[in-house]
């Protein structure tokens, strides 16, 4: 779905109040820099299902996710899809070397991003090595996650994939919202399947199996971890 009714707020917001101030790229900026930085970004809203940018697009902007969840994915010519990650608030999107995005990004549910035009953002970084270092840090962290995910895709069974996903997703939400055995899953079964390199049927069956074994409870829009130790045992393997 292409962006249609996106809303661009007038600049009536302040970075200092921003929900992701503490852990996004901008965490590396001091209060003075932040005031300058404020003029670079614009808050933009996307509705559920809208595409924020596409794989083949020329990169004109970078994005700092403020609210909501996004799916990041690549498509093969015949339509097969691999989701390469889910983005959560604080994630920084759009860095690349080829001047083109190398994946597409859709809003899952309503999303708010802080959008930066590429050129001014580049200029702002130019003489602020600490911001560059922060960006580098985020890139290296992502690279580590990407490698972990390769292990999952290449060498784990369906059961292990699903168990690992549930625990990993809970862990990510934990650092945003605190610990809970109730794990919201805003993405569809198809999204989960395309993330784990499985089919929707296999994901569904695996969820059901986990529930039958008392490891989880399937809720609307999520799951509850009934027996975390059991799920961990499955994921470790």
Partner DNA sequence: CGCGCCGTTGATTTGAATCAAGTATTGTGG
Partner DNA sequence: CCACAATACTTGATTCAAATCAACGGCGCG
In the list 29, 113, 196, 231, the residue contacting a second copy (rule: CB under 8 A) is 196
Burial 7-45 (b: 16+ CB within 10 A, else e): eeeeeeeebeebebbeebbbebbeeebeeebbebbbbbb
In the list 168, 184, 197, 228, the residue contacting DNA (rule: CB under 7 A) is 197
In the list 20, 84, 88, 173, the residue contacting a second copy (rule: CB under 8 A) is 84
- What is the H or E stretch that residue 75 is in? strand 61-75
Site for a second copy contains 95 (CB under 8 A): yes
- Local structure of residue 93 (DSSP, 8 states): E
Instruction: Report the SS3 class of residue 57.
Output: coil
In the list 27, 48, 140, 233, the residue contacting a second copy (rule: CB under 8 A) is 140
Q: In which residue are the tokens 């050129």 written?
A: 119
Nearest approach in angstroms of CB 201 to DNA is 4
CB 87, CB 93: distance < 8 Å: yes
CB 41, CB 64: distance < 8 Å: yes
Binding partner of residue 208 among DNA, a second copy, none, CB cut-off 5 to 8 Å per kind: DNA
The nearer residue to a second copy, 48 or 233, going by C-beta atoms, is: 233
- Residue span 198-237 as binding mask against DNA, x where in contact by CB under 7 A, dash where not: xxxxxxxx-xx---------x-x-----------------
Site for a second copy contains 122 (CB under 8 A): no
- Measured in whole angstroms, the distance separating CA 32 from the mean position of its chain's CA atoms is 29
Site of interaction with a second copy (CB under 8 A): 74, 76-78, 80-82, 84, 95-98, 102-103, 129, 132-133, 135-137, 139-144, 146-151, 153-156, 194, 196-197, 236-237
């Amino acid at each position: 779905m292409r962006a249609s009714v996106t809303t661009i707020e007038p600049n009536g917001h302040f970075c200092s109040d921003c929900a992701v101030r503490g852990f996004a790229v901008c965490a590396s900026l001091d209060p003075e820099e932040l005031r300058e930085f404020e003029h670079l970004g614009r808050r933009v809203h996307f509705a559920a299902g809208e595409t924020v940018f596409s794989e083949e697009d020329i990169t004109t902007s970078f994005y700092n996710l403020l609210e909501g969840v996004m799916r990041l994915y690549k498509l093969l010519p015949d339509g097969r899809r691999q989701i390469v990650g889910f983005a959560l608030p604080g994630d920084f999107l759009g860095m690349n070397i080829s001047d083109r995005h190398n994946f597409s990004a859709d809003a899952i549910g309503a999303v708010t991003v802080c959008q930066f035009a590429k050129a001014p953002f580049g200029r702002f970084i130019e003489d602020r090595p600490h911001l560059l270092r922060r960006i580098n840090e985020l890139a290296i962290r992502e690279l580590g996650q990407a490698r972990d995910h390769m292990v999952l895709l290449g060498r784990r069974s369906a059961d292990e994939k699903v168990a690992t996903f549930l625990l990993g997703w809970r862990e990510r939400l934990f650092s945003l919202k605190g610990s809970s055995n109730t794990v919201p899953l805003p993405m569809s079964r198809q999204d989960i399947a395309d993330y784990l390199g499985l089919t929707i049927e296999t994901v569904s069956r695996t969820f059901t199996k986990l529930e039958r074994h008392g490891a989880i409870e399937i809720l609307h829009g999520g799951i509850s971890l009934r027996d975390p130790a059991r799920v961990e045992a499955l994921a470790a393997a």
